[in-house]
Amino acid sequence: MTLQWQDIDTVLLDMDGTLLDLHFDNYFWLQHLPKRYAQIFNVDVLSIENRLHQMYAEMQGKLQWYCFDWWAQQLQVDIVELKQEITHLIEVRPSVTDFLQSLQQSHCRVVLLTNSHRAGMQLKFDKTGIDQYFDEIVSSHDYGFCKEQQEFWQAAESHLKFDKRRCLFIDDSLPVLTAAKKFGIAFNIAVENPDSKKPANSFSDFDSVRNFEQLTKRLDEL
């Protein structure tokens, strides 16, 4: 990795799978939601699992996929309430807090860029307190486009007034990283192990990290 911190003014960070363990979200959508839906409506778990997997496939990469209001309307359940049942699974990934503290003390502007619905963000902020480390917090719902879309990056540039030639962006999603690179974000880093309960991913087109220790060390050396 050839990252030089003196070339970076703005750090753009994803939340789920980058700063926070993606296990919480994967467990909710793949296990907790089907189980609780089956209990609430007295239906077979397998039937709702099949229905949900079909909906997930159709909505992947669209803003609705990340919208609690849309899912609540489709399923007639309170998504926030169901998520509150398993908030004990929300965890900050290893070495993230040290990285955020170092960024806070650096010359860099630090921005959270997440596809998360703001209600979901608040659940995680209440549990982890990571919101204290950001100069700006942006949900894709603020712009009406998700990070996979070029319109999101156009809106972010207009709103945040960053110089994309001097931006570092860190995310765990290949489609999102590809969109950022296409837009012209200069430095893009992938997170290899977003879900602690699953094997690490490999990336051929992006530099990648398993934790932030290496980045923190270089930042602290400035």
Name the nearest CA neighbour of 11 among 152, 115, 105, 94. Answer: 105
46-92 confidence digits (pLDDT tens): 999 999 999 999 998 899 999 999 999 999 999 999 999 999 999 99
Q: Tell me what pLDDT residue 1 has.
A: 60
44 an active-site residue? Answer: no
> How confident is the model over 210-222, as pLDDT tens digits?
999 988 887 877 6
- What are the backbone angles phi and psi of residue 202, rounded to the nearest 5°? -120, 145
- Selecting among 7, 126, 205, 207, the annotated active-site residue is 7
Q: How far apart are CA 194 and CA 201, in angstroms?
A: 8
Q: Assign residue 208 a region: left if phi > 0, alpha if psi is -120 to 50, beta otherwise?
A: beta
Q: Evaluate if pTM is beyond 0.75.
A: yes
- Rounded Cα–Cα distance for residues 180 and 67 (Å): 21
